[in-house]
Amino acid sequence: MLKTFSFLLLSIGSGCVLSQDLTQFVNPFIGTSNYGATHPGAAYPHAMVSISPFNVAFKKDAENPHEKDSEWNSRTYIKENAFLTGFSHVNLSGVGCPDLGSIITMPTTGDLIFDPELHGTTYADEIASPGYYSVYLEKSRVKAEFTSTLRTGLNRFTFPKGKSNVLINLGLGLTNETGASLRVVSPSEIEGHKLIGTFCYNPEDVRPVYFVAQFSKPSDTFGAWKKMPAYQGVEANWVRYNDAFKPYPRYQHVMSGENIGAYFAFNTEENETIEVKIGVSYISIENARQNLLAEQSEFDFDGVRERSVNKWNELLSRIKVEGGSKTDKIIFYTALYHILTHPNIIQDVNGDYPLMGSHMVGNTGGKNRYTVFSLWDTYRNVHPFLSLVYPELQSEMVNTMVDMYDENGWLPKWELLGMETNVMVGDPATPVIADTYLRGIRDFDIETAYEAIVKASTTPGKENALRPGIDPYNRLGFIPEDTVDKWGGSVSTSLEYYIADWNIATLSKELGNADAYKQFLKKSKGYTNYYDKSTGMLRPRFEDGTWYEPFDPEYGKNFEAVVGYVEGNAWQYRFYVPHDIPGLIKLIGGKRKFIEQLQMCFDTDNYSVNNEPDITYPFLFNYVKGEEWRSQKTVRNIVDEYYTNTPEGIPGNDDTGTLSAWLVFSMMGIYPVCPGDMDYAIVTPRFDKLTIKLNQKYYPGEELIITTRKNGNDPWRIKEIKFQDRVQERYFINHKELIQGGVLEFELFDN
């Protein structure tokens, strides 16, 4: 059977006509190649559960299909891989390190084989759309379909006639932890837990993820295995007593250890379907069972799928576009879909959740609690985007962050399931909080939040869990390279701290604290300590003032490890002062020199389209009058070249929606250059008309409409900008203007 990929073009749901079904423009296969690290599986917005095909344990190789490839271990799915070993139920999408990818189901036929290298299969006929994924497994001749809710997943397997099996593998996965336990409750139910943790190989706490799985019909036989394939496990038959199944007493139905799993075997008729629904919790098996009962009391695959599609449409329809090509719509709405995948809720239906930094249990009291805060990435554009379009979600996320501070004493940096992974550098929660408040979202405890961000900037030494190098930073205004311990990146880390301190200054001013404003504004100017006139770079230096040698500004642009910088080189950090571009222009030598050097960054292939440090650089030409066309052209070229309706259609790791948010903002024609700065840089919109439905609980306006009038054969350059019929004299527009609602008009020409 010819292997293909497609995405579903269906309208599902009563009263939902095709023109209203925006899920038709979502292609979940975008980003599943080129290290995009997304997965195409069934997902519900911001959900605890998603179901991803798991094909990364083995390398795609026609002659050696079972050869392992360690480079693929941070993703559940790679489009190019032709060998599938199961379907994982707790997953991360668009991250750079392995974790989760656990609780894996796999339908097989014939004799029981527990080794995924042997029961794995080639596959064909993949279909993916929001809330749905299906595939045909060629070895077993099984059609596998999946859908999900917030906390549960649903599998539907269509078997051929004969002996059929469903395996539940608790050993295979992306997490570095392999311990697990299971208990067969009945011929149609199993419960247990799987350990997860050590994201990016960091020694944070390990947590269990609990599950309950129920089958639509009782199995004929079942069993468990341990340390596959050395132990074939135990098999049990069941007898009926008083209309209830009970096991023979001599059988043991509990298994614990590493690399364990269970099977349920059936004798199926041709095209017989067996469904498996799985509830998940990070608190207990009982909570997992409650989640399953609350969200899937019956087996209703089509109903669960319909509710997922309706929820996706509800969120996607917050932005409606007109004009543009079909491909433009697909890459736009797929990017919006990826933005709405993470962070995820973590509380159970009863409100229970794991407290930050401990193994104790909290309760939300009816609120949503979130996890998966990849803040080094998302503080730059994802959270400003959520603040504009989904302020109610951003409010819940910031409330979660403040609660984490209450529980743990520190704001999160890269939080996962209530554990601080300490991945990446800087103090990214600070700009998220300040930016959110300044944009007008104020239904969180600002006093506690302000206390938290000031604490991060002022607490000295090893007591500071968020800011390594804080002592020399506060004493000298920069982190010298000879004071850096194992965490590295003196220049990168300091530049992040300057942005955070500028946000504290800006928030202090808003709150009426003039002294704090002056104090933190001064700290934010410390980037000048790194400026080397001889190279024009922000360069690592030592405490005695000497520059680090040897120094090659281009070294590290391909992610080689380089002294002073994290995930970048001197070029990619050269203009990384988004909070003070006018000051940087003056430091570099004026507007003409700034434009020359900024353009050179692109011309010499030192701009990295797939990473965060220079993500704002295409918009910086707007700071020099008369050069704004360069931003328009550069952004247009990046969108055309790097964002496509293909599996390679994200230029690199999506970083939980960060590259997708870059695309959505760029196609809208506005971009937030720096968190805490309420100005959006203006570039050329992609669509004839784009309408954002504003949330009037937070903002006075009802709709923000962006329209484009085009002249010429290939119009891309902006001739005139108007907002509410007033001509815009500059290529920036303020957030506080846009949330009043109204029409932002563009007139374009083709140069």
Q: Which residues pair with 704 in a beta bridge?
A: 692, 742
| CB neighbours of residue 601 within 10 Å | 18
Write out the H or E segment, with its range, that includes residue 501.
Answer: helix 490-510
Give the whole-angstrom CA distance, residue 632 versus residue 717: 7
Q: Hey, where are the domains in the chain?
A: 5-313, 318-749
Phi, psi (rounded to 5 degrees) for 640 = -65, -35
Q: What is the pLDDT at residue 73?
A: 58
Q: Quick one: three-class SS letters along 427-474?
A: CCHHHHHHHHHHCCCCCCCHHHHHHHHHHHHHCCHHHCCCCCCHHHHH
**C-beta pairs of 414-417 under 8 Å, 24+ apart in sequence:** 414/199, 414/373, 414/374, 414/375, 414/376, 415/356, 415/371, 415/372, 415/373, 415/375, 416/99, 416/199, 416/204, 416/371, 416/372, 417/196, 417/207, 417/282, 417/346, 417/354, 417/371, 417/372
Token pair belonging to 317: 């329809």
Q: pTM of the predicted model, to two decimals?
A: 0.93
Q: Could you tell me which of 618, 586, 626, 588 has the C-alpha nearest to residue 601?
A: 618
Give the whole-angstrom CA distance, residue 360 versus residue 125: 45
With DSSP H G I counted as helix, E B as strand and the rest as coil, what are the percentages for the chain, rounded to 5? 30, 25, 45
Token pair belonging to 694: 């504003």
Q: What is the pLDDT at residue 557?
A: 81
Q: What is the pLDDT at residue 254?
A: 83
Q: What is the pLDDT at residue 577?
A: 98
The parts of the chain modelled with pLDDT lower than 70 are 1-19, 57-74, 204, 227-253, 486-487
Q: What is the pLDDT at residue 8?
A: 41
Give the whole-angstrom CA distance, residue 239 versus residue 243: 10
Give the whole-angstrom CA distance, residue 69 versus residue 116: 15
Q: What is the pLDDT at residue 191?
A: 97
Give the whole-angstrom CA distance, residue 330 versus residue 24: 8
Token pair belonging to 62: 């026609």
Phi, psi (rounded to 5 degrees) for 580 = -150, 55
Q: What is the pLDDT at residue 403?
A: 98
Q: What is the pLDDT of residues 347-404, one digit of tens each?
A: 999 999 999 999 999 999 999 999 999 999 999 999 999 999 999 999 999 999 999 9
Q: What is the pLDDT at residue 9?
A: 39
Q: What is the pLDDT at residue 548?
A: 96
Q: What is the pLDDT at residue 244?
A: 47
> How does DSSP classify residue 379?
T
Give the whole-angstrom CA distance, residue 392 versus residue 319: 15
Top-tier CATH class for 318-749: alpha beta
DSSP string, 288-299: HHHHHHHH-SS-
User: Letter for the amino acid at 626?
Assistant: G
* CATH 3.40.47.10 applies to domain 5-313: no
* Tally of CA atoms within 13 A in the half-sphere of 614 that contains its CB: 23
Residue 391: is the preceding peptide bond cis (ω within 30°)? no
Token pair belonging to 349: 């239906």
Give the whole-angstrom CA distance, residue 352 versus residue 650: 36
